[in-house]
């Protein structure tokens, strides 16, 4: 059953969600509504899709994987069942006093998602639950400290959790800005690829080099968006190659232009442009011939 939760403006300026697929942000918000008062819910992608995306196609399992990879949620198992826990949920959400206690076991101490990139979670909300009532819902009530840096560490479970909980352990090494930009670009490409082909694209040492090259040429902000747009292009040349990443790098600037203008160019549209230009050239030639007193050209004879 969905519940009312708080939201802060900083959600829309988060640097990680901002370059990801917009549906990932919507899914993240939807998880708050489905989670219990401790920020936990069953990890059932099909049911979650039915609750959050009932009217469109969406690969919820892939997006949950992305949210976990980026440190927004934890996907774990306990007693043979799969669960999700929203990180820092209890710190920033104050559920209604009548909500019952969570019946889902928590994540054991030290078990958090891998590859955490310093994701801030202060945008989840910190207004008291009573502020959601109709007589107290005023603009300032939901944004008291949204811009205040959060220096606190993640909360540690005080009570021992079941011993059979499984979760990924964190990596100790901090990622550089370049590594973050490369990861965001690959994630955007992967989400679009999964949605189109139903499988994950191949990643190896060669592809890693291509990702870095694309980010260097287009920049950390545009590269993920161009990579996602590229997979949607319905050009037979790209389709025959299953939108291989190397072709994106080879034609990066041209694909970026299509992305900015919102116009996809394929073989059909290219021929249409060529034919239109050929007619323009023939008309210009005929006009010059008439002005010079010469014989009509083939274009004029064809159109008499």
pTM above 0.75, yes or no: no
pLDDT digits (tens, 9 = 90+) for 132-170: 333 323 333 333 333 333 434 444 444 454 555 555 555
- Whether residue 203 contacts residue 36, with contact meaning beta carbons closer than 8 Å, is answered with no
CB of 217 closer than 8 Å to CB of 187: no
Q: What is the helix (H) or strand (E) element at residue 89, kind and residue range?
A: helix 89-92
Which fold would CATH assign to domain 9-142? Arc Repressor Mutant, subunit A (1.10.10)
Summarize pLDDT for 79-120 with one digit per residue, the tens.
889 999 998 887 777 777 777 888 888 876 444 443 333 333
- Following CA atoms 12, 15, 21, 26 in sequence, which dihedral angle do they give, to the nearest 10 degrees? -30
By the 8 A CB rule, do 93 and 5 touch?
A: yes
C-alpha to C-alpha distance for 215 and 34, rounded to whole angstroms: 36
Rounded to 5°, angle at Cα 14 from 13 and 20: 110
Residue 26 · residue 88 · CB < 8 Å:
no
Tokens found for residue 253: 């600037």
């Amino acid at each position: 059953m969905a519940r009312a939760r708080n939201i802060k403006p900083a959600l829309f300026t988060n640097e990680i969600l901002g370059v990801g697929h917009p549906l990932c942000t919507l899914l993240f918000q939807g998880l708050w509504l489905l989670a219990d008062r401790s920020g936990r819910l069953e990890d059932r992608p099909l049911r979650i899709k039915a609750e959050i995306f009932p009217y469109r196609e969406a690969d919820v399992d892939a997006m949950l994987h992305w949210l976990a990879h980026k440190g927004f949620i934890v996907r774990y198992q306990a007693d043979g069942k799969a669960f999700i826990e929203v990180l820092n949920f209890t710190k920033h959400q104050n559920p209604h006093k009548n909500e019952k206690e969570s019946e889902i076991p928590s994540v054991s101490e030290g078990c958090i998602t891998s590859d955490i990139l310093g994701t801030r979670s202060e945008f989840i909300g910190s207004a008291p639950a009573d502020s959601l009532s109709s007589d107290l819902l005023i603009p300032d009530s939901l944004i008291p400290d949204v811009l205040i840096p959060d220096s606190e560490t993640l909360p540690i479970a005080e009570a021992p959790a079941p011993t059979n909980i499984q979760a990924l352990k964190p990596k100790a090494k901090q990622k550089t800005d370049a590594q973050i930009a490369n990861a965001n670009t690959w994630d955007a490409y992967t989400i679009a690829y999964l949605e189109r082909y139903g499988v994950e694209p191949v990643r190896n040492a060669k592809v890693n080099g291509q990702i870095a090259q694309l980010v260097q040429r287009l920049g950390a902000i545009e590269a993920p968006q161009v990579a996602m747009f590229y997979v949607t292009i319905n050009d037979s040349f790209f389709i025959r190659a299953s939108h291989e990443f190397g072709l994106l790098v080879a034609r990066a600037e041209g694909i970026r232009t299509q992305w900015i203008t919102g116009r996809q160019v394929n073989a059909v549209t290219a021929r249409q442009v060529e034919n239109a230009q050929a007619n323009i050239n023939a008309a210009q030639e005929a006009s010059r011939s008439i002005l010079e007193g010469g014989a009509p050209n083939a274009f004029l004879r064809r159109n008499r």
